[in-house]
């Protein structure tokens, strides 16, 4: 019996490990798409021991480099193996403005443009029954899209990590909705998972107010396993495979208003992003 293939970005992180463990336990062949293969190798060996699934491979990808994303995708296209699951899990919340080799603010590249390009390039390997899951955040609700600042600076003025992070999660949510509509006739489902506030490395203690934030929010912070549960359900549950274009919280779809389902900037966002990634498509 041929194992179905799953691609998981950031598979060696907190929630990434939980997702990879669940998918491996379900018998999938897995490609851990990670920025640092040496670090990921330790996690891979641990997962093999835990799950008994030896079909776990690491491939290098840096979502802050579009050429790296394209190279990763091109390798999979060369292999030609059908993809059943694509989990866009990797993310970052930068503490200072960093511009990538592509001229993008790094948070925007890792959280949105990189996953956009990766998904678009891998679509030819997907078909009936394939699932794409994007890891978003409840902060999408405070996100705003201002062009061209969204791509180049995150926003006007001084760097402020939370609004910029929120902007990327709004963009990824809108990408989920738009892509779901475009590929539904092919039988591909595309959904977004909101993990809640999760204790992962993305939460840093570099600002003066972070200790206070930690004290006030600690009772509400989920473990990586709890945060990963919604994404895992979207990847593996039979019922979840029957819906597309949804945002999901605590393993259940959340009703979105027309502000999001027919967002005034959805088409503009898609078109501007395609202009950026066009040379790699």
Is there a catalytic annotation at residue 165? yes
Describe the strand order of the beta sheet including 5-9 as a list of residue ranges: 56-60, 29-34, 5-9, 83-88, 131-135, 189-194, 247-249, 252-254
DSSP E strands in 102-195: the ranges are 131-135, 189-194
CA 202 – CA 17 distance, rounded (Å): 14
Backbone φ and ψ of 200, nearest 5°: -135, 175
**144 CB-near residues (< 8 Å, 6+ apart):** 155, 163, 166, 167, 170
Alpha helix stretches (DSSP H) within the chain: 14-25, 37-51, 66-79, 106-108, 114-122, 149-152, 161-183, 210-217, 224-236, 258-261, 266-277
Are 15 and 224 in contact, with CB atoms under 8 Å apart? yes
Q: Cis (ω within 30 of 0) for the bond into 148? A: yes
Catalytically annotated residue among 28, 112, 140, 165: 165
Q: Which residues are known catalytic residues?
A: 165
């Amino acid at each position: 019996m041929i194992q179905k293939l799953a691609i998981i970005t950031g598979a060696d992180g907190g929630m990434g490990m939980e997702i990879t463990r669940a998918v491996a336990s379900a018998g999938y062949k897995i490609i851990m798409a990670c920025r640092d293969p040496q670090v990921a190798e330790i996690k891979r060996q641990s997962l093999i021991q835990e799950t008994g699934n030896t079909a776990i491979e690491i491939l290098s990808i840096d979502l802050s480099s579009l050429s790296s994303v394209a190279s990763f995708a091109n390798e999979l296209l060369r292999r030609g193996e059908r993809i059943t699951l694509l989990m866009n899990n990797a993310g970052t919340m930068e503490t200072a403005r960093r511009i990538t080799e592509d001229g993008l603010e790094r948070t925007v590249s890792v959280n949105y443009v990189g996953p956009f390009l990766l998904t678009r390039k891998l679509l030819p390997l997907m078909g009936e029954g394939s699932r794409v899951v994007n890891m978003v955040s409840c902060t999408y609700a405070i996100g705003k899209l201002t062009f061209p600042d969204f791509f180049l600076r995150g926003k006007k003025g001084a760097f402020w990590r939370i609004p910029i992070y929120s902007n990327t999660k709004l963009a990824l949510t809108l990408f989920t909705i738009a892509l779901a509509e475009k590929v539904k006739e092919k039988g591909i489902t595309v959904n977004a998972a909101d993990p809640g506030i999760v204790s992962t490395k993305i939460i840093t203690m570099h600002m003066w107010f972070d200790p206070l934030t930690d004290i006030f929010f600690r009772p509400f912070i989920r473990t990586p396993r709890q945060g990963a549960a919604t994404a895992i359900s979207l990847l593996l549950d039979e019922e979840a495979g029957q819906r597309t274009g949804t945002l999901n919280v605590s393993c259940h779809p959340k009703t979105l208003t027309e502000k999001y389902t027919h967002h005034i900037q959805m088409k503009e966002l898609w078109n501007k992003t395609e202009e950026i990634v066009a040379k790699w498509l």
